[in-house]
Amino acid sequence: MKSFIFKSVTRFCMILASTLLLFSACNSDQPVQSGLAGLPMLDNTRTRSISAENMTGEKGKGGMAIPNPSEKKPAASGRAADDLGQGWKVKPFLRVNAGQTVTLMDVDGPGTIEHIWMVEGLSRANVLRFYWDGETYPSVEVPAPDFFAVGHEKFARVNSQVVTVNPQNALNCYWPMPFRRHAKVTFTNESEKDLELLAFQITYALSPVSEKSGYFHAQWRRAKTGGQNPYVILDGVKGKGRYVGTFLAWTQMTSKGWFGEGEVKFFMDGDTRFPTICGTGTEDYFLGSYGFEQSYSTQYSGTTLPATTEGDLPNLWSLYRWHLPDPICFENDLKVTIQALGWGSNGKYRLLDDDIASVAYWYQTEPHQPFPALLPLVLRKPSK
């Protein structure tokens, strides 16, 4: 009897809590929470999506392109609908010629980007830039494949909570990206060859943005650790924010064997010589242990290329770590570094002369500090 009463009271409390949460959400001026818990909540949010078939995302404006048989340089399959007419997949893709920048998104807010899907050439010559609320300097500036946790221009599956990469090179991200007044996304082809097929879709919600919401940022860097060790993943961040992810494209250049003894350090809010947060090793930071004996891809971390410390050099690693349940919160400033450290034949640690490219992901208040100049294409291409 006591057990029955206890279960009944517990069930009543759960129902009451759920009812109060629903009532609160439906009667609040704040946006409904995202994720599975927010799916049943009905508010005034309007969903919009931009693709080559609707470049403005406007209501009732999708699939309006008319076949143009005289177009000189259409995107791939650009003439496939010539005999079918308007409304029949006339313009599903974009063509981005050599040296060209195209605007993928240019819309007013308030709103939040919820999903981006993209298929491109997996080339670091293709650069994504995101601008929030009319800012001059981009808050995101990353070669397209690296932004989606694809390193070295080499496809590898990713199966995580905020990034998924599916065969053959379908790039997806679910990072929520709120904007208050305006959002602009551009794609630049810096190669000497035309990109005949850029397929993309950006889905966003037009809805209020909480006063407490920061803006999404992502920055790409690269250096040889013979000249920069510890390697700097991120520096120069000013403002209040949360660090939410790291992607590393690590190349073992000069020696085989284990490379992952280096510690990841977070210097925040006035730290100088010593950090507030200091990890215990590279594989520990990427939530592995005793090396990377095999590839894995999980909700929050992974190493996605074939895992081996032997074989011919260079040896390539693509590593991601998302701080989703455990964001690194800072009040004023942030710097993130990793040591390039391996094992020597004498049983002691040794410094490594390797090649690391990285993407740092974080949210912060605006304005942000301008990023270091993006390396020219010749210095972005993977090591051979």
pLDDT in tens, 214-259: 999 999 999 999 999 999 999 999 999 999 999 999 999 988 899 9
* Structure tokens given for 358: 């990285």
pLDDT tens figures, 137-150? 999 999 999 999 99
Across the range 284-300, mean pLDDT stands at 96
Tell me how far apart the alpha carbons of residues 336 and 233 are, in angstroms, rounded to a whole number: 5
Q: Is 7 left (phi over 0), alpha (psi -120 to 50) or beta?
A: alpha
pLDDT of residue 383: 85
Provide the pLDDT confidence category of residue 375 given band limits of 50, 70 and 90: very high
Q: Where are the alpha helices (DSSP H) in the chain?
A: 2-26, 144-147, 282-285, 377-380
Tell me how far apart the alpha carbons of residues 210 and 110 are, in angstroms, rounded to a whole number: 10
Q: Provide the percentage of residues in the chain whose pLDDT is more than 90.
A: 79
Superfamily of domain 43-213: Protein of unknown function DUF2961 (2.60.120.1390)
Q: 30: Cβ–Cβ under 8 A, 6 or more apart, which residues?
A: 208, 210
Report CA 7 to chain centroid distance, whole Å. 44
Q: Has residue 286 got a pLDDT over 90?
A: yes
Domains 43-213 and 215-370 share a fold: yes
Provide the pLDDT confidence category of residue 34 given band limits of 50, 70 and 90: low
Per-domain residue ranges of the chain:
43-213, 215-370
* Structure tokens given for 127: 């650069």
Residues found in the chain: 384
Across the range 280-308, mean pLDDT stands at 96
Rounded to 5 degrees, φ, ψ at 16 are: -60, -45
Cβ atoms of 186 and 102 within 8 Å: the answer is yes
pLDDT of residue 255: 86
Ranking 7-16, 191-200, 322-331 by mean pLDDT, the lowest is 7-16
Task: To the nearest 10°, report the CA torsion of 143, 145, 151, 157.
Answer: 170
Query: Which sign does the torsion angle of CA 76, 82, 84, 88 carry?
Result: positive
57 closest CA partner among 216, 205, 158, 168? 205
pLDDT of residue 48: 97
Q: Has residue 25 got a pLDDT over 80?
A: no
Q: Has residue 346 got a pLDDT over 80?
A: yes
Across the range 291-313, mean pLDDT stands at 93
pLDDT of residue 29: 44
* Structure tokens given for 130: 């995101």
Q: Domain 215-370 is of which CATH architecture?
A: Sandwich (2.60)
Query: Average pLDDT, whole number, for the chain?
Result: 91
Ranking 79-88, 124-133, 207-216, 335-344 by mean pLDDT, the lowest is 79-88
In the three-class reduction of DSSP (H, G, I as helix; E, B as strand; rest coil), residue 352 is classed as coil
